């Protein structure tokens, strides 16, 4: 039980005793104050009237007062002058520093403008520059494809650049994320793609153990890496590269390229067996070329993502664009979600998300927001945030969907039978096919009923060369500068027209003044005219008498 606070109640005897003591104390204080008496400040008696030379003394006193006032004023002025001098000196110093800074900016303006582009690692130009470095240096190029939509992850510009380089470069296709696609579908895609380029089936580890994750596992026993740290197909790919090294008799560099979120860095981590490159769910984690040594003979080169061209469809931009959905504009995200849902089986989407029938993407997002409890104030569904979640799910490895390969094999214009033979030279294709079948058999695949059928938009065009990239900021800057130039031209035209019309306006003003002076009588005699005359009289309202101006006009009443 809790202890109660002590009561403040007293017995009457004790309370009366305390009050008596207080009264006695106050009485004592008053007596002592009477004995001391009140000391009032003494007034200046001044000069007595009987004193000799009284007038002269008074004059001297006034002169002393005047001198003191003059001294005070002089001191005040001197203080003000000192303050003004200090302010002027500070202003000069500030102006000098500003001029120096401006001169330094002007002198190094061009150099700074050039270095800004080099320093900004998040720009699209730097991504293209780093990608071209990887393509130029590498002997073997691995184009990573998402097994859910392999055709949508292929970039014709990149394939053409590698095949037409003429430097004995090889291009291999790595079909990643095969655990998210039905088994039959994977086999169909492997049979389709191997006719163009050597294709490797792969399942990369999305999360590798390092020092930080080991500490986490010690603290929390429920944090498991069994599913995310498993990888398949690494032995097949390593064996393929080692066989190619033997044919070349030299060390090779292998560049890993592809669109965002296909698993480029995860493949390098799986081949290395530990976390060598940074990996994340966000798009564009890798911003520059990174080198990872597998052994003495092979060196892996990680590259930034290929930039999707703006001429692609809304579906391709939504899935393959380098912009992160969390930082992108809500209109682009909504358009991307609309394109994704239009290319899916509606019934399968309803079953996957466990929502009722919907008419369009907006209704789908509102139903999903209500189901997941993503609501704004007043119970309004938060459509923008739900759209971002849906888009990140489709670009990540959460949703299991699949696409069918084309019905007939049509080679792209940059590929011929001779080029295909050159790309396949130096690789043991029979052994590769056997290893691919082993990796497909070793994995657990989802059934077609549990995954979503998806319509691919075909190959995605990408920009590889730095000169072809147009930054968004530069476009806006050019638009703004052009608008400013047009506005300045319009202002100049208006100014010239105004100068020409000044004389005419002055003549019109003179005529109006004459008419105002000449017709005051008519307006006084006929204050109520027809509508046209009344509209004319509005311009001469200043000439009306005071009583007419103050009169109430019933025409101004409104219902």
**How many angstroms separate the CA atoms of 432 and 438, rounded?**
10
DSSP reduced 3-state for 340: helix
**What residue spans define the domains of the chain?**
121-208+226-311+405-446+455-463, 314-395
Radius of gyration (Cα) for the chain, nearest Å?
Answer: 44
- Helix segments in 263-329, DSSP class H: 264-272, 314-320
- pLDDT tens-digit profile of 471-521? 554 444 444 444 445 555 554 444 444 444 555 444 445 444 434 444 444
- pLDDT tens-digit profile of 72-117? 999 999 999 999 999 999 999 898 889 888 887 776 655 555 544 4
Count each helix (H run) and each strand (E run) in the chain, helices first. Answer: 20, 10
**How many angstroms separate the CA atoms of 543 and 546, rounded?**
9
Residue 117: the pLDDT is: 44
Q: Write down the architecture of domain 314-395 according to CATH.
A: Orthogonal Bundle (1.10)
Please give the average per-residue pLDDT across 195-207, as a whole number. Answer: 85
- pLDDT tens-digit profile of 210-219? 444 444 334 4
Q: Which of 232, 228, 233, 201 is nearest to 217 (CA)?
A: 228
Please report the DSSP string for 176-228 in residue order.
E-GGGS-HHHHHHHHHHHTTTS-EEE-B--SS---HHHHHHHHH-TT---TTT
CATH number (3.40.50.300, 3.90.230.10, 3.40.50.10800, 3.40.190.80) of 121-208+226-311+405-446+455-463 reads 3.40.50.300
- Residue 120 predicted with pLDDT over 70: no
**How many angstroms separate the CA atoms of 391 and 332, rounded?**
11
CA neighbours within 13 Å on the CB side: how many for 484?
A: 6
**How many angstroms separate the CA atoms of 139 and 252, rounded?**
6
Q: Are 282 and 304 in contact (CB under 8 A)?
A: no
Residue 515: the pLDDT is: 42
- pLDDT tens-digit profile of 409-452? 888 888 888 888 888 888 888 888 888 888 888 888 888 888 88
H helix or E strand, kind and range, residue 418: helix 417-424
Q: Which of 202, 219, 182, 204 is nearest to 454 (CA)?
A: 182
**How many angstroms separate the CA atoms of 435 and 145, rounded?**
18
Residue 69: the pLDDT is: 94
Q: pTM score, two decimals?
A: 0.60
Sign of CA dihedral 8, 9, 13, 17: positive
223-237 as b/e: b if 16+ CB within 10 A: eebeeeeebbbbebb
Considering the chain, what is the average pLDDT of its residues? Answer: 77
């Amino acid at each position: 039980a809790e202890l109660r606070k002590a009561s403040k109640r007293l017995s009457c005897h004790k309370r009366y005793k305390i009050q008596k003591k207080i009264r006695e104390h106050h009485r004592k204080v008053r007596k002592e104050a009477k004995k001391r008496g009140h000391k009032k400040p003494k007034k200046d008696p001044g000069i007595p009237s009987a004193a000799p030379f009284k007038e002269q003394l008074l004059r001297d006193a006034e002169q002393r007062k005047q001198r003191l006032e003059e001294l005070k004023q002089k001191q005040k002025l001197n203080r003000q002058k000192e303050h003004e001098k200090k302010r002027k000196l500070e202003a000069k110093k500030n102006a000098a520093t500003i001029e120096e800074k401006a001169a330094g900016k002007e002198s190094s303006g061009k150099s700074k403008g050039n270095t800004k582009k080099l320093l900004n690692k998040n720009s699209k130009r730097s991504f293209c520059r780093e990608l071209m470095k990887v393509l130029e240096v590498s002997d073997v190029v691995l184009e990573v494809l998402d097994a859910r939509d392999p055709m949508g992850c292929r970039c014709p510009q990149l394939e053409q650049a590698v095949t037409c380089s003429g430097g004995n470069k090889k291009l291999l296709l790595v079909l990643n994320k095969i655990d998210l696609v039905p088994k039959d579908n994977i086999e169909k895609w492997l049979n389709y793609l191997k006719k163009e380029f050597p294709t490797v089936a792969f399942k990369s580890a999305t999360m590798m153990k390092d020092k930080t994750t080991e500490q986490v596992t010690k603290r929390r026993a429920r944090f498991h890496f069994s599913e995310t740290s498993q990888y398949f197909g690494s032995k097949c790919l390593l064996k393929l590269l080692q066989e190619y090294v033997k044919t070349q008799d030299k060390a090779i560099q292998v560049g890993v390229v592809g669109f965002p979120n296909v698993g480029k860095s995860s493949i390098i981590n799986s081949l290395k067996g530990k976390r060598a490159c940074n990996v994340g769910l966000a798009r564009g984690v890798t911003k520059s070329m990174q080198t990872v040594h597998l052994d003495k003979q092979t060196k892996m080169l990680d590259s930034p993502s290929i930039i999707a061209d703006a001429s692609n469809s809304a579906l391709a931009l939504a899935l393959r664009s380098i912009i992160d959905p969390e930082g992108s504009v809500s209109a682009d995200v909504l358009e991307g979600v609309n394109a994704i849902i239009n290319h899916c089986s509606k019934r399968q989407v309803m079953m996957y998300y466990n929502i009722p029938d919907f008419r369009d993407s907006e209704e789908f997002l509102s139903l999903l927001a209500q189901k997941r409890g993503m609501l704004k104030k007043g119970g309004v569904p938060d459509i923008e945030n739900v759209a971002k979640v849906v888009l990140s799910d489709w670009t990540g490895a959460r949703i299991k969907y699949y696409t069918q390969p084309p019905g007939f094999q049509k080679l792209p214009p940059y590929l011929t039978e001779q080029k295909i033979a050159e790309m396949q030279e130096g690789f043991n294709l029979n052994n590769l096919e056997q290893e691919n079948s082993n990796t497909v058999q070793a994995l657990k695949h989802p059934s077609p009923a549990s995954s979503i059928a998806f319509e691919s938009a075909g190959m995605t065009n990408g920009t590889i060369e730095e000169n072809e990239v147009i930054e968004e900021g530069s476009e806006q800057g050019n638009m703004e500068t052009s608008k400013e130039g047009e506005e300045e031209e319009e202002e100049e035209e208006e100014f010239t027209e105004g100068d020409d019309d000044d004389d005419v306006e002055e003549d019109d003003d003179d005529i109006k003044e004459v008419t105002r002076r000449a017709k005051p009588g008519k307006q006084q005699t006929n204050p109520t005219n027809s509508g046209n005359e009344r509209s004319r009289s509005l311009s001469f309202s200043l000439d009306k008498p005071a009583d007419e101006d103050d009169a109430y006009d019933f025409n101004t009443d409104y219902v």
